[in-house]
Structure 1
Amino acid sequence: MALALLKFNKCCDNVRDGFFQAVLPFRFGVRAIVVDKAQVYGTHLRNDKEDFYRYFVRQMVTHDGRVLEKARLKIDGSGNREFRQELCRYLRENVRPGVIEDLRFVNSRQDTLIQLADMAAGAIARSYNTDARKNATRWRDQLKGKIENVWNFR
């Protein structure tokens, strides 16, 4: 049986509401980093999408409040093989030993946890766009009990 692909930005409001109502009984936590790209000073991070991605994945893993231990990290499988190998090497070299036990790139179409992460990230991102969107905090508010940390990168 194939899963339906759920992406926050492609769902209508009632699908988002239904999704968050359906997942709330389950045990999970959300940790996020919010980056205003205009506040990023390093030109290599501003101009190189892969460097930007590597750097902020590393930030999430290293600034974890010491909660990650032997983590099984799943990353949406975007990017070519060379990028994925480079990201694995980069994290091995820049993350304290014992934090990541397993790192996999998975297809979001076939992984419910990646879809949950996308929906949570979308809800958090939408909450920062209060000027252009009505109900900007609607879905973040629904996740309130599940959000452990949102780090506003400066």
Structure 2
Amino acid sequence: MYVFIDESGDPGFKVERGSSPIFVTSMVIFDTAEDANQATKEISALRGRLRVKPEFKFNKSHRAVRDAFFEGVSDLPFRTRYVVVQKNLIYSDALRTVKDSFYKFFVRNMMQHDGGALVRAKVVIDGSGDRQFKRAFRSYLRKHIDADCVRKVDLKDSVKDPLVQLADMTAGAIARSYRQDRADSNRWRSALYRAGKIENVWEFR
């Protein structure tokens, strides 16, 4: 099993100064290496056809690119799970003030509350931070996640991994669905739903 994780939004709580009101973590799941390899090839080819450089990023993509992306991945063999955090419901001082704690906590919770989805999974998480953070993050997950669920955790720069880009795009689609100020808010979440790709959306309370 192969799992790819990314997020939409930021860990900041100064929403009135530009922090995102919503934070979403996305987990994209492939049952086999063959399924993951197929998706890697298809998404790389799609990026070439759409002339997207250097990578797919939901928040940097035009509407037409988003439409083409979600149509292009609709038949690929994956499923997704999410945690949605509405920041106005978070009162923990640690989560509100320590960015690393916020990020680690919700990635961990998504992996722990997996509904039995993770079985000896190799997990790849978007991570372009410094070596010390990566080492600490892997140690944190090993401490909290059952070894029967996760056998290995890697952190990779999304530019180098099309499947982390898939996690970014799906996280962005779910996050956009909470934007009541956008007429197209549910457009790409609905595309994922119609394709049967959404296994669970957990709204954290």
Instruction: Work out whether the TM-score is over 0.5.
Output: yes
Task: Give the secondary structure class of the aligned counterpart of 1:102.
Answer: strand
- 1:125 alignment partner, one of 163, 169, 175: 175
Deviations 1:32-85 (A, max 9, x none): 000012211211111111000111111011100111011111111232211111
- Determine the C-alpha separation between the residues in 1 that align with 2:71 and 2:174: 16
Task: Give the secondary structure class of the aligned counterpart of 1:151.
Answer: strand
**What CA RMSD, in Å, does the superposition of the two structures yield over aligned residues?**
1.5
Measured after TM superposition, the shift of residue 141 of structure 1 is 0.4
Q: Does 1:49 align with 2:99?
A: yes
Question: Aligned residues, how many?
Answer: 153
What code does the residue aligned with 2:67 have? D
Runs of 4+ in 1 over 3 A off after TM superposition: 1-4
Q: Does 1:139 align with 2:188?
A: yes
- 2:128 alignment partner, one of 66, 69, 78: 78
- 1:30 alignment partner, one of 80, 94, 119: 80
What code does the residue aligned with 2:188 have? W
TM-score (norm 1): 0.94
- Determine the C-alpha separation between the residues in 2 that align with 1:15 and 1:77: 24
TM-score (norm 2): 0.72
Unpaired segments ≥5 residues, structure 2: 1-43
What code does the residue aligned with 1:93 have? K
What code does the residue aligned with 1:146 have? K
- Determine the C-alpha separation between the residues in 1 that align with 2:167 and 2:146: 24
Corresponding residue for residue 64 of structure 1: 114
Would you tell me which structure has more strand in proportion to its own residues?
2
Unpaired segments ≥5 residues, structure 1: none
Identity, % of aligned positions:
46
- The higher-RCO structure (CA 8 Å, 6+ apart) is 1
- Determine the C-alpha separation between the residues in 1 that align with 2:54 and 2:132: 29
- Determine the C-alpha separation between the residues in 2 that align with 1:78 and 1:134: 33
- Determine the C-alpha separation between the residues in 2 that align with 1:38 and 1:83: 27
- Determine the C-alpha separation between the residues in 1 that align with 2:54 and 2:192: 21
Contact 2:120 2:147 in 1 (8 A): no
Corresponding residue for residue 9 of structure 1: 59
